């Protein structure tokens, strides 16, 4: 288990470094001059040159990358000359909003999706199963920004039950929860469908396996078989999906952040790329890539914990 | 069992848990707690986040919207439909000659946080810091014209200029770089961005939540009448459609709306609200590269000017809600032309004749545009219009980061490829702010059409110094004639600024619809 853990962590660091480097090279490859964008039409050449030096852009790209990674090991994500603030502060300000949105979305999607999939599998080919199948595929197919806009029109504009914009008052958990409902609904709705379909398929497969048949033959109660033996195995692909899905959720959260005018890391990256704000792009992408890698690694661990065969490398 | 465990862990009784659930449920049923429409709190919207509330380091117009409420200037724009300024921190101000402006401060203007009374020393500190600083926006507002601010008494001083500089009245003194900060307060913190150490306006910054909102609150130390609102929340919402939803759901009191929604807001405005449409200071034009080998024959450029039918663009891209422009200087401003040399309507026959005269056929051109819906629609209309005279247009869409460096010689070789370009700049209410982008020395910087005209350059210099306003206005009119005669510009529109405003709010707005927050008050 320790070797497995070590190997996965090493791989995770390598992936993060490669991803950030690749993105940095790509941003440099596309046209755009941060000095012109930041300073605007009234900047002189001298002002632009000074900004370039301040941002370290007068150095070759490989030197910029080397100094970026060098600074990371000292816990420094760099300095944003645009807002005159540390990138670490900027990223840490925005990250919790996105994390809250992602966790809330996944949480309610799993809460609804897992029992739904499980129930559908146990009642396969009934009208309920057919109906959940249609609804699930339907929710997967609807883009989250469409759900976001319609939920806003219904719950904010027509009914005026829920706030349309923002993330809630600082230090007021109730207000923040209130502001989280619609975005989490919009981002998570498609995942209800994904999860329920996946759990249903896995459950059907597991329920047909030998050990479940044996358990049934021994006369164990069906609830015991379902929750103790079948669901434990059937949930493994869902755990993996949720881990890998962090990447998707980050991009879906960008839409939610724009539509609901919420703060968050997705909007931060979007704005930073548009203005070629390299330090913020690098810092925030490093953190989000790290998050993605941590989530997939965690999913691997959870799978390994749930299934001894994975631990044994079989 | 599980619920019991949760209750135990949180040390809640079953009754408390039920009550908490009920409170949450009820809370969901009542409208948004910070809902708009309150006499105490004004909910407004900005399209970007603030960058700096230090007048010497400001970067965007939203910075000035906030600074206008928290600081004082010698003079400031009056709310209303005409471009006028009024005295603010100044008791009097007078242009003694072309390079000397005498001022006297009102007595008793206090800076918050105990930093004392505003004096002429603070004016000197603020103006010189902005004019001689490294920030291009603030320094350019002063146009390199400031020599010094001479302090002649506790409340009196003289602004001494190196050269006559008339944009000073609409740009340096009454806009962002003209905000006066406390020297003592600044020196106590060294530097600041969005947490000013002291304010002298009716509001102070209560809180800045990055990418969310700026909250202003009543300044208890304000020397004048207390502000009408206890708090102003300026919510950052970049998407106009989101802002409209927020307005309709009652979360905003005032917001700019999209052009596409103007018609529906006019016919059926949301409850207790009204639509007001203001002429904006933006200017939109089709640029035709003066130096591009395909476009060097002036007849080809003129053919393009005549082939572009501006009313069609206004109808399709601006839903018939914007007017055709006559140049780069908007109506109501000094130097505005009543008419353009070429009528807004297309003259296809003339355009074809010009092309024929030039002996050009099968011309294929690229048109660079920003990837915004309005711009892309306009480009498609231009594409269709130019096809009528046999010019094939390929549209190149660019995202913002790429688009805004297209004509920059510092950003590579792409400037050489510009043939046609759809562009949109903004300005403040002085004509100099617009014309300065098109002088010869701006070629390869912001003059992407690479237009060059000696008379234009000379007029741009002379008009800055001209004290006679009528003469100055004529100079700017002539400059726009020269731009149009060059064949490099087809002026399209100044757009419009449509605002949705709650009936409970008496909005204090500049003639172009920008907010003057200190003048906002409840309508009753």
Nearest-CA distance B198 → chain A (Å) = 20
**Helix-, strand-, coil-residue percentages of chain A, each rounded to 5:** 80, 0, 20
pLDDT band (50, 70, 90) for residue A314: low
Query: Tokens 């018939």 map to which residue?
Result: B320
**Between chains, do B411 and A40 touch, taking CB under 8 Å as contact?**
no
Q: Which residue of B has its CA nearest to A38?
A: B59
Helix (H, G, I), strand (E, B) or coil at A177: helix
pLDDT band (50, 70, 90) for residue B33: very low
Query: Integer distance in angstroms from the first to the last C-alpha of chain A?
Result: 13
Nearest-CA distance A149 → chain B (Å) = 9
Ordered DSSP codes for B213-265: EEEEEE-TT-SSSPPS-SEEEEEE---HHHHHHHHHTTS-SEEE--GGGHHHH
- pLDDT over threshold 60, residue B20: no
- pLDDT over threshold 50, residue B31: no
Helix (H, G, I), strand (E, B) or coil at B462: helix
Tokens describing residue A269: 């990256």
Q: Choose among A166, A181, A263: nearest Cβ to B210.
A: A263
Tokens describing residue A110: 């799993």
Question: Model's pTM, two decimal places?
Answer: 0.85
Is the CB of B469 inside 8 Å of chain A's CB atoms?
Answer: no
**Helix-, strand-, coil-residue percentages of chain B, each rounded to 5:** 35, 25, 40
- For residues A132 and B184, the model is more confident at B184
Summarize pLDDT for B345-402 with one digit per residue, the tens: 999 999 999 999 999 999 999 999 999 999 999 999 999 999 999 999 999 999 888 8
- For residues B105 and A119, the model is more confident at B105
Nearest-CA distance B137 → chain A (Å) = 6
Nearest-CA distance B92 → chain A (Å) = 31
**Between chains, do A163 and B446 touch, taking CB under 8 Å as contact?**
no
Task: Could you list the beta-strand ranges (E) of B35-74.
Answer: 41-46, 72-73
Mean pLDDT over residues A41-56, rounded? 77
Is the CB of A26 inside 8 Å of chain B's CB atoms?
Answer: no
Contacts of A80 in chain B (CB under 8 A): none
- Least confidently predicted of A35-44, B197-206, B370-379: A35-44
**Between chains, do B31 and A161 touch, taking CB under 8 Å as contact?**
yes
In DSSP terms, which residues pair with B274 in a beta bridge? B501
**φ, ψ for residue B58 (rounded to 5)?**
-65, 155
Tokens describing residue A245: 């899905």
d(CA B89, CA B92): 9
Interface predicted TM-score of the whole assembly (ipTM), two decimals: 0.80
For B170, residues 6+ apart whose C-beta sits below 8 A from its C-beta are B83, B85, B428, B429, B430
Tokens describing residue A243: 């881990």
**Between chains, do B249 and A152 touch, taking CB under 8 Å as contact?**
yes
* Other Cβ atoms closer than 10 A to A314: 7
pLDDT at A313: 60
pLDDT band (50, 70, 90) for residue A242: confident
Helix (H, G, I), strand (E, B) or coil at B207: strand
A183-199 residues labelled b (16+ CB within 10 A) or e (exposed): bbbbbbbbbbbbbbbbb
Nearest-CA distance A39 → chain B (Å) = 7
CA A286 to centroid of chain Cα atoms:
14
Which one-letter DSSP state was computed for residue A228?
I
Mean pLDDT over residues A259-268, rounded? 90
* Other Cβ atoms closer than 10 A to A309: 9
**Between chains, do A163 and B27 touch, taking CB under 8 Å as contact?**
no
Contacts of A276 in chain B (CB under 8 A): 401
pLDDT band (50, 70, 90) for residue B6: very low
d(CA B196, CA B202): 14
Summarize pLDDT for B40-83 with one digit per residue, the tens: 999 999 999 999 999 999 988 999 999 999 999 999 999 999 99
Query: Integer distance in angstroms from the first to the last C-alpha of chain B?
Result: 57
Summarize pLDDT for B217-234 with one digit per residue, the tens: 999 999 999 999 999 999
Residue window 91-130, chain A: list those with CB within 8 Å of chain B: 93-94
Nearest-CA distance A93 → chain B (Å) = 8
In DSSP terms, which residues pair with B499 in a beta bridge? B256, B276
Tokens describing residue A37: 């964008």
- Integer angstrom CA distances of residue A203 from A36, A108, A241, B102, B254: 57, 20, 15, 85, 53
Is the CB of B52 inside 8 Å of chain A's CB atoms?
Answer: yes
Choosing among A176, A261, A272, A280, which should be mutated to test the B contact, i.e. which has the most B CBs within 10 A?
A261
Query: Tokens 């401003």 map to which residue?
Result: B333
Mean pLDDT over residues B187-192, rounded? 92
d(CA B257, CA B499): 6
- Least confidently predicted of A140-149, B46-55, B495-504: A140-149
**Between chains, do B402 and A30 touch, taking CB under 8 Å as contact?**
yes
Residue window 239-268, chain A: list those with CB within 8 Å of chain B: 258-261, 263-264, 267-268
User: Do the Cβ atoms of B480 and B219 come closer than 8 Å?
Assistant: no
pLDDT at A168: 86
d(CA B23, CA B33): 14
Q: How many CB pairs under 8 A join A and B?
A: 146
- pLDDT over threshold 50, residue B11: no
pLDDT at B341: 97
Tokens describing residue B336: 């505005």
Contacts of A88 in chain B (CB under 8 A): none
pLDDT band (50, 70, 90) for residue B109: very high
- pLDDT over threshold 50, residue B5: no
**Between chains, do B400 and A162 touch, taking CB under 8 Å as contact?**
no
Contacts of B446 in chain A (CB under 8 A): 41
Q: Which residue of B has its CA nearest to A273?
A: B401
**φ, ψ for residue B423 (rounded to 5)?**
-130, 160
- pLDDT over threshold 80, residue B36: no
Q: How many CA atoms lie within 13 A of A296 on its CB side?
A: 17
Q: Which of B498, B494, B457, B464 is nearest to B479 (CA)?
A: B457
d(CA A133, CA A115): 14
**Between chains, do A33 and B140 touch, taking CB under 8 Å as contact?**
no
Q: How big is the CA angle at A131 (ends A129 and A137), to the nearest 5 degrees?
A: 100
Is the CB of B239 inside 8 Å of chain A's CB atoms?
Answer: yes
**Between chains, do B242 and A260 touch, taking CB under 8 Å as contact?**
yes
Ordered DSSP codes for A230-289: IHHHHTHHHHHHHHHHHHHHHHHHHHHHHHTT---HHHHHHHHHHTT-HHHHHHHHHHHH
- For residues B125 and B33, the model is more confident at B125
d(CA A154, CA B176): 41
pLDDT at B32: 43
Nearest-CA distance B389 → chain A (Å) = 33
Q: Which residue of B has its CA nearest to A261?
A: B237
Is the CB of B404 inside 8 Å of chain A's CB atoms?
Answer: yes
Contacts of A267 in chain B (CB under 8 A): 211
Q: Choose among B29, B248, B405: nearest Cβ to A32.
A: B405
Contacts of B24 in chain A (CB under 8 A): 174, 177
Average pLDDT, chain B: 91
Q: Choose among A31, A153, A181: nearest Cβ to B411.
A: A31
pLDDT at A311: 65
**Between chains, do A162 and B140 touch, taking CB under 8 Å as contact?**
no
pLDDT > 70: what percent of chain B? 93
Is the CB of B426 inside 8 Å of chain A's CB atoms?
Answer: no
d(CA B341, CA B402): 33
pLDDT at A41: 66
pLDDT at B391: 97
**Between chains, do A30 and B401 touch, taking CB under 8 Å as contact?**
yes
pLDDT at A205: 87
Helix (H, G, I), strand (E, B) or coil at B501: strand
**Helices B298-307 and B373-387 sit at what angle, rounded to 10 degrees?**
110
For A265, residues 6+ apart whose C-beta sits below 8 A from its C-beta are A91, A94, A95, A97, A98, A250, A253, A284, A287, A288
d(CA B296, CA B306): 17
Q: Which of A166, A48, A300 is nearest to B32 (CA)?
A: A166
Contacts of B27 in chain A (CB under 8 A): 174, 178
Nearest-CA distance A181 → chain B (Å) = 10
Contacts of residues B78-85 at CB distance under 8 Å and 24 or more positions apart, as own/partner, are B79/B508, B79/B509, B79/B510, B79/B516, B79/B519, B80/B511, B81/B511, B82/B332, B82/B511, B83/B170, B83/B332, B83/B333, B83/B429, B83/B510, B83/B511, B85/B169, B85/B170, B85/B173, B85/B174
Query: Tokens 């003694």 map to which residue?
Result: B96
User: Do the Cβ atoms of B244 and B500 come closer than 8 Å?
Assistant: yes
Q: Choose among A45, A84, A275: nearest Cβ to B401.
A: A275
Length reported for chain B:
524
- pLDDT over threshold 60, residue B262: yes
Mean pLDDT over residues B121-136, rounded? 93
pLDDT at B10: 41
Mean pLDDT over residues A141-156, rounded? 90
pLDDT band (50, 70, 90) for residue B9: very low
Choosing among A41, A181, A227, which should be mutated to test the B contact, i.e. which has the most B CBs within 10 A?
A41
pLDDT band (50, 70, 90) for residue A82: confident
pLDDT at B405: 87
Mean pLDDT over residues A191-213, rounded? 88
Contacts of A94 in chain B (CB under 8 A): 210-211
* Other Cβ atoms closer than 10 A to B193: 15
pLDDT at B508: 96
**Between chains, do B242 and A166 touch, taking CB under 8 Å as contact?**
no
d(CA A9, CA A301): 11
pLDDT > 90: what percent of chain B? 83
User: Do the Cβ atoms of A15 and A296 come closer than 8 Å?
Assistant: no
Q: Which residue of B has its CA nearest to A153?
A: B245
pLDDT at B27: 46
Residue window 80-119, chain B: list those with CB within 8 Å of chain A: none
């Amino acid at each position: 288990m320790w070797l497995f853990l070590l190997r996965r962590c090493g791989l995770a660091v390598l992936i993060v470094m490669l991803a950030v480097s690749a993105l940095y090279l790509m941003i440099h490859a596309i046209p755009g001059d941060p000095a012109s964008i930041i300073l605007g039409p009234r900047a002189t050449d001298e002002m632009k040159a000074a900004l370039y030096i301040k941002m370290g852009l007068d150095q070759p790209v490989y030197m910029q990358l080397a100094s970026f990674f060098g600074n990371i090991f000292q816990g420094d994500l760099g300095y944003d000359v645009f807002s005159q603030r540390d990138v670490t502060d900027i990223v840490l300000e925005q990250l919790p909003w996105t994390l809250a949105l992602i966790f809330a979305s996944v949480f309610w999607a799993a809460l609804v999706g897992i029992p739904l999939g499980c129930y559908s599998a146990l009642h396969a080919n009934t009208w309920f199963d057919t109906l959940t199948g249609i609804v699930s595929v339907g929710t997967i197919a609807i883009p989250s920004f469409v759900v976001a806009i319609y939920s806003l029109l219904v719950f904010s504009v027509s009914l005026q039950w829920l706030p349309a914009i923002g993330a809630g008052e600082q230090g007021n958990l109730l207000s923040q929860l209130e502001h989280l409902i619609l975005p989490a609904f919009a981002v998570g709705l498609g995942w209800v469908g994904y999860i329920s379909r996946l759990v249903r398929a896995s459950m059907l497969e597991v329920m047909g396996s030998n050990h479940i048949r044996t358990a049934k033959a021994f006369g164990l109660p069906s609830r015991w078989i379902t929750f103790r033996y079948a669901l434990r195995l059937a949930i493994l692909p869902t755990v993996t999906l949720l881990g890998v899905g962090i990447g998707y959720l980050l991009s879906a959260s960008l839409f939610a952040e724009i539509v609901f005018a919420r703060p968050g890391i997705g909007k931060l990256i979007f704005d930073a790329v548009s203005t070629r704000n390299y330090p913020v792009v690098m810092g925030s992408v490093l953190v989000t890539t790290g998050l993605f890698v941590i989530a997939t690694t965690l999913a691997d661990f959870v799978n390994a914990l749930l299934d001894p065969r994975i631990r044994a490398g079989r | 069992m599980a619920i019991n465990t949760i209750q135990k862990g949180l040390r809640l009784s079953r009754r408390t848990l039920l009550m908490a659930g009920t409170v949450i449920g009820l809370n969901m049923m009542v409208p948004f707690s910070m809902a708009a429409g309150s006499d105490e709190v004004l909910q407004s919207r900005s399209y970007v986040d603030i960058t700096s509330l230090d007048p010497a380091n400001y970067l965007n117009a939203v910075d000035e919207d906030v600074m206008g409420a928290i600081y004082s200037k010698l003079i400031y724009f009056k709310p209303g439909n005409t471009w006028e300024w009024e005295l603010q921190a100044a008791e009097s101000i007078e242009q003694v000659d072309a390079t000397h402006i005498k001022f006297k401060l009102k007595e008793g203007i206090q800076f918050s946080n105990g930093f004392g009374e505003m004096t002429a020393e603070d004016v000197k500190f603020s103006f010189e810091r902005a004019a001689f600083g490294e920030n291009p926006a603030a320094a350019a507002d002063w146009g390199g014209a400031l020599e010094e601010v001479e302090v002649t008494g506790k409340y009196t001083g003289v602004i001494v200029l190196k050269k006559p500089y008339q944009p000073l009245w609409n740009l340096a003194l009454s806009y962002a770089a003209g905000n006066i900060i406390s020297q003592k307060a600044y020196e106590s913190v060294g530097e600041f961005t969005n947490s000013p150490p002291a304010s002298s306006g009716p509001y102070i910054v209560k809180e800045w939540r990055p990418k969310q909102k700026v909250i202003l609150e009543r300044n208890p130390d304000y020397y004048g009448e207390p502000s009408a609102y206890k708090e102003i929340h300026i919510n950052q919402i970049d998407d106009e459609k989101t802002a409209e939803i927020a307005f309709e759901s009652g979360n905003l009191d005032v917001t700019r709306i999209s052009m596409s929604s103007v018609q529906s807001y006019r016919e059926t405005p949301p409850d207790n609200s009204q639509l007001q449409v203001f002429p904006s200071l933006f200017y939109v034009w089709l640029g035709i590269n003066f130096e591009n080998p395909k476009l060097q024959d002036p007849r080809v450029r003129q053919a393009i000017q005549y082939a572009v039918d501006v009313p069609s663009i206004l109808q399709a891209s601006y839903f018939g809600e914007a007017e055709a422009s006559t140049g780069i200087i908007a109506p109501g401003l000094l130097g505005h032309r009543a008419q353009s040399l070429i009528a807004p309507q297309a003259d296809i026959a003339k355009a074809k004749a010009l092309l024929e005269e030039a002996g050009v056929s099968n011309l294929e051109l690229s048109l660079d545009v920003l990837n915004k819906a309005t711009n892309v629609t306009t480009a498609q209309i231009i594409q269709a219009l130019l096809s009528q005279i046999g010019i094939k247009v390929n549209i190149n869409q660019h995202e913002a980061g790429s688009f805004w460096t297209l004509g920059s010689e510092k950003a590579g070789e792409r400037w050489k490829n510009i043939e046609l370009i759809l562009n949109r700049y903004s300005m403040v209410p002085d004509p100099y702010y617009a014309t300065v982008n098109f002088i010869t020395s701006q070629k390869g910087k912001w003059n992407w059409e690479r237009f060059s005209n000696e008379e234009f350059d000379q007029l741009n210099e002379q008009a800055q110094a001209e004290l006679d306003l009528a003469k100055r206005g004529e100079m700017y009119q002539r400059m726009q004639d020269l731009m149009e005669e060059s064949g490099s510009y087809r002026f399209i529109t100044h757009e419009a600024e449509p605002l949705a405003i709650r009936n409970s709010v008496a909005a204090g707005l500049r003639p172009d619809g920008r907010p003057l927050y200190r003048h906002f008050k409840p309508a009753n």
